[in-house]
Amino acid sequence: MIEIVALVGAIVVMGGFAVFVGLAPEREPQRAQAADVPSDTVPSRFFGRGGEPEVIVEREPIAADAALRRLERHVRAEQVAVEGFLRLPSAENLRRRSASPLVN
């Protein structure tokens, strides 16, 4: 009986982990993949001049681009929020929340 409960528990935990991984941002599994490769199995100059796995380097521009888009939305939202303060300066208007994705 105890073995069956333990087995069911293990399946639930594994299932939960699988769901979690599935919901994680796209690039996270890629990082995990690269990090999971033991360093001693990757020749430092195999197909490249450096020792870093190329897959991470190639994904960076996409991630950086997404970060920049979020920064743009942040700046625009903050400017809108600040305009309210400039029209009517007060501590409350200065602290008024913006619609920025980075602070909400």
Partner 1 sequence: MAAAESSGAGIELFRGLSASQIAPFRPLGRPVRLTRGSSLFRMGDDALTLYVVRSGRIAFTMPIDVQGTSQDALVDEKGPGSLVGWSALAPPHRYTLSAHALEDSELSSFLGVELRAQIVLDPAAGVVVLLNLVELLGHRAQQTQAMWLRELQRTLDTRLG
Binding site for partner 1 (CB under 8 A): 60, 63-64, 67-68, 71-72, 75-76, 78-79, 81-83, 85-86, 94-95, 103
Cα 26–chain centre separation: 8
Kindly tell me which of 26 and 60 has the beta carbon lying closer to partner 1. Answer: 60
Give me the least distance between CB of 41 and partner 1, in Å please: 25
User: Could you give the angle at the alpha carbon of 71 between the alpha carbons of 57 and 32, nearest 5°?
Assistant: 35
Q: Any residues with CB less than 8 A from the CB of 47 and at least 6 apart, and which?
A: 54
Give me the least distance between CB of 46 and partner 1, in Å please: 23
Kindly tell me which of 8 and 96 has the beta carbon lying closer to partner 1. Answer: 96
Give me the least distance between CB of 38 and partner 1, in Å please: 24
Q: Any residues with CB less than 8 A from the CB of 93 and at least 6 apart, and which?
A: 84, 85
Kindly tell me which of 12 and 76 has the beta carbon lying closer to partner 1. Answer: 76
- Amino acid 57 reads V
Kindly tell me which of 42 and 82 has the beta carbon lying closer to partner 1. Answer: 82
The closest alpha carbon to 79, from 98, 95, 103, 104, belongs to 98
